[in-house]
């Protein structure tokens, strides 16, 4: 009974990641309620504390929480803490729930693949019916419309869904019709891959191509399959070329990135996204220099960044540094950054979990997203990270009870 309720709660949460932040909250509440509905709390608590990888997100939360001691802006601080609460609530829920069978995880991934397929069909329809308009938008750093108007997290979910579809295909997972579902998974995987390029969001594309590189290395070194690895390596070289030549959005993004870089190098400041990002990094490092070991405090990060903008770039609006590691360094100092890196990579290293290609791909997507965004400081991002992390942990390396 608990497993069925956990599955329903998980499906609601995944739906929320794509469509609605409110549904994310409902999913977390239901998942936590299901976990607390138990006839053996002693057994569940032993399971929770016996797996240190399950508690890694809590360490990230506490790192930010402790910076509140010296944060002056309490409103900003508690707002951020509220966003990051899933780092505590979901480990508690997953830790108290029973271990999941592989079918449980694959069922959720199957649902996500279908949900994302429907979502990108909507995106494709909007794009094609207003083609000229959106081509012009792409040329000035704008994006195609996505559910929740969160194109970055949507592209990361899309990249994960591509890998999920091929995972289901190669594992031969199905519900009713083995052959039909196998080819359906293959078709959806290819369709989602094409749409990832049509969407042309660099965060998702970066995550996907680094993921392919990881598969190449894993195939050659771990699985000793040289031919497969070389074939994937060839694909890695060909796909960007094909995308550049046949997907207008990719071509527009490339030229825009080059123009942004030329502008920045020549000292010309514009309102284009890449220039703004580079400036935000520069100013965040200036903020971090005020207190390099413990940072300025998570609550004061924005206000200190705002001061730096007013001093050096008064004509520009304040932007948070779009890099999770730089943000942690500025907010929590070098000690906080080292803490983030430890708790981020601990689940991957625990009991050699890096040997699982699926787990490697998930971490690749999360890590690459943190290079260009504050993944853990936004609701969809932090829930995306902690939900799929714990979903993998509760199956891949079950604790001994």
- Report the pLDDT value the prediction gives residue 17, as an integer from 0 to 100: 96
What digits encode the pLDDT tens for the residues 46-73?
877 788 899 999 999 999 999 999 988 9
What digits encode the pLDDT tens for the residues 251-284?
666 666 666 666 656 666 666 667 778 888 989 9
What digits encode the pLDDT tens for the residues 134-176?
777 766 667 788 998 888 899 999 999 999 999 999 999 989 9
pLDDT band for 133, please (50, 70, 90 cuts). Answer: confident
DSSP label of 222: I
What is the distance between the alpha carbons of residues 26 and 30, in angstroms, rounded to a whole number? 6
What is the distance between the alpha carbons of residues 118 and 158, in angstroms, rounded to a whole number? 11
- Report the pLDDT value the prediction gives residue 270, as an integer from 0 to 100: 60
What is the distance between the alpha carbons of residues 39 and 24, in angstroms, rounded to a whole number? 27
Closest CA to 386 of 10, 65, 111, 43: 10
DSSP 331-353: HHHHHHHHHHHHHHHHHHHGGGG
What digits encode the pLDDT tens for the residues 219-250?
777 767 777 677 777 777 777 777 666 666 66
Angle at alpha carbon of residue 227, lines to 224 and 232, rounded to 5°? 100
pTM attached to this predicted model:
0.90
What digits encode the pLDDT tens for the residues 356-391?
889 999 999 999 999 989 999 999 999 999 999 999
Q: How many helices (H) and strands (E) does the chain have?
A: 18, 0
| Distances from the Cα of 269 to the Cα of 139, 273, 274, angstroms | 18, 11, 10
Backbone angles phi, psi at 266, to 5 degrees: -85, 0
Q: Please, are residues 171 and 358 in contact by the beta-carbon 8 Å criterion?
A: no
How many Cα atoms occupy the beta-carbon half-sphere of 80 within 13 Å?
28
Q: Please, are residues 375 and 365 in contact by the beta-carbon 8 Å criterion?
A: no
DSSP label of 55: G
CB count within 10 Å of CB 31 equals: 27
Domain ranges of the chain: 2-258+329-396
pLDDT band for 399, please (50, 70, 90 cuts). Answer: very low
Q: What percent helix, strand, coil does the chain show, rounded to 5? A: 80, 0, 20
pLDDT band for 3, please (50, 70, 90 cuts). Answer: confident
Residue 34, token pair as written in the block: 């299901």
What is the distance between the alpha carbons of residues 209 and 52, in angstroms, rounded to a whole number? 31
Read off the pLDDT of each residue in 198-214 and give the average, rounded to a whole number.
Answer: 88
DSSP label of 267: T
- Cβ density class 8-22: b for 16+ within 10 Å, e for less: ebbbbbbbbbbeeee
């Amino acid at each position: 009974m608990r497993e069925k309720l956990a599955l329903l709660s998980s499906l609601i949460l995944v739906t929320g990641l794509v469509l609605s932040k409110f549904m994310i909250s409902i999913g977390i509440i239901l998942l936590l309620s299901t976990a607390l509905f138990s006839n053996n709390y002693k057994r569940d608590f032993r399971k929770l504390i016996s797996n240190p990888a399950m508690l890694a997100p809590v360490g990230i939360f506490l790192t930010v929480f402790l910076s509140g001691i010296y944060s002056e802006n309490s409103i900003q601080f508690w707002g951020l803490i509220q966003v990051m609460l899933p780092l505590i609530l979901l480990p508690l829920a997953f830790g108290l729930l029973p271990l999941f069978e592989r079918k449980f995880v694959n069922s959720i991934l199957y649902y996500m693949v279908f949900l994302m397929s429907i979502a990108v069909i909507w995106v494709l329809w909007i794009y094609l019916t207003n083609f000229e308009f959106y081509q012009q938008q792409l040329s000035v750093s704008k994006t195609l419309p996505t559910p929740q108007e969160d194109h970055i997290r949507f592209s990361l979910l899309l990249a994960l869904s591509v890998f999920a579809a091929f995972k289901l295909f190669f594992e031969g997972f199905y519900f009713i019709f083995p052959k039909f579902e196998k080819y359906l998974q293959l078709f959806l995987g290819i369709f989602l891959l094409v749409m990832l390029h049509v969407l042309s969001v660099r965060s998702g594309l970066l995550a996907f191509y680094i993921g392919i590189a990881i598969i190449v290395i894993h195939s050659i070194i771990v699985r000793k399959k040289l031919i497969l690895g070389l074939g994937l390596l060839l694909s890695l070289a060909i796909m960007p070329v094909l995308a550049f030549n046949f997907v207008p959005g990719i071509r527009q993004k490339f030229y825009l990135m080059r123009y942004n870089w030329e502008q920045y190098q020549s000292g010309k400041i514009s309102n284009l996204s890449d220039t703004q990002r580079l400036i935000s990094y520069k100013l965040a490092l200036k903020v971090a220099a005020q207190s390099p070991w413990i940072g300025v405090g998570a609550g004061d990060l924005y206000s200190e960044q705002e001061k730096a903008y007013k001093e050096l770039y008064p004509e520009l609006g304040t932007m948070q540094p779009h890099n999770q590691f730089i943000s942690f360094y500025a907010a929590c100092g070098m000690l906080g950054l080292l803490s983030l890196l430890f708790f981020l990579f601990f689940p991957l290293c625990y009991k050699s979990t890096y040997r699982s290609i699926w787990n490697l791909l998930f971490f690749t997507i999360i890590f690459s997203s943190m290079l260009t965004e504050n993944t853990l400081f936004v609701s969809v991002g932090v829930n995306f990270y902690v939900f799929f992390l714990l979903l993998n942990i509760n199956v891949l390396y079950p604790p001994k009870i």
